[in-house]
Amino acid sequence: MSIQHALLVSLLEKPSSGYELANRFDRSIGYFWQATHQQIYRELGRMAERGWIVADNAAGGDKRQKKTYQVLPAGREELIRWAQTPDPSPHGGRSLLVKLRAEAVIGPLGLDEQLREFMAQRQAQLDIYRAIERRDFSPERMTPARRLQYMVLKRGITMEEGWLEWAQEVLPLVSRTPPPA
């Protein structure tokens, strides 16, 4: 998943302290990615070690005072590298959301291939659910228990459909070659 890359995007959008990031994470990206402040501080520390980000706080030792972090070129490159690496996990959609925000701050990343692959995966999962639906949930013989089980499956189905419709709408925004009128 990588919280680090989500943090990089947030920092590119606006240099911030760990505390601010922790609060900001409640909004926007926050429904999809939640992170505690300890988690955020840890990852900020690591990214600083790796030279991806710096705190503006010059020499003063580790006094307990506000540190505003900024993204360094190495961090920017790492974000681009990550954004161009497909995430085949079932939560690939969440990654794509972060990648879209990345594209919004640092320009075209060529995400259309990843998006198409993602759509193919969602379609495949949807087909599986549809098959189960036809096999196990025909309108006859619908006991109350079966109806409840069906609602669970239905949530899976509409989730997949939701991602597919969304991806369909995103596609023209990330395509290098817009479809001819």
Partner DNA sequence: CCATCCATGTAATTCGTTACATGATTAT
Partner DNA sequence: ATAATCATGTAACGAATTACATGGATGG
Q: Which residues of this chain interact with a copy of itself, rule CB under 8 A? A: 27-29, 31-32, 34, 90, 93, 97, 100-101, 103-105, 125, 128, 132, 144-149, 151-156, 158-159, 162, 165-166, 169-170, 173-174
Nearer to a copy of itself, 57 or 123 (CB): 123
Structural contact between residues 9 and 102, judged by C-beta atoms closer than 8 angstroms: yes
Rounded to whole angstroms, the Cα distance separating 165 from 2 reads: 25
* Eight-state DSSP code of residue 140: S
Element (H, E) at 145: helix 144-174
Considering only CA atoms, which of 90, 114, 124 is closest in space to residue 1? Answer: 90
User: What binding mask, one character per residue, do residues 154-173 give for DNA by CB under 7 A, x or -?
Assistant: --------------------
C-alpha dihedral sign at 47, 51, 53, 55: positive
d(CA 20, CA 90): 30
CB of 77 to a copy of itself, least distance (A): 20
What's the closest the beta carbon of residue 12 comes to DNA, in angstroms? 17
Which value, in Å, is the radius of gyration of the alpha carbons in the chain? 21
Q: Which is nearer to a copy of itself, 148 or 181 (CB)?
A: 148
Per CB under 7 A, the segment of 59-67, 70-78, 95-103, 142-150 that binds DNA is 59-67
- Tell me the number of residues near DNA by CB under 7 A: 23
Of residues 62 and 169, the one with the C-beta less far from DNA: 62
Count of beta carbons in the 10 Å neighbourhood of residue 180? 4
Binding site for DNA (CB under 7 A): 1, 3, 17-20, 22, 34-39, 41-42, 44-45, 62-67
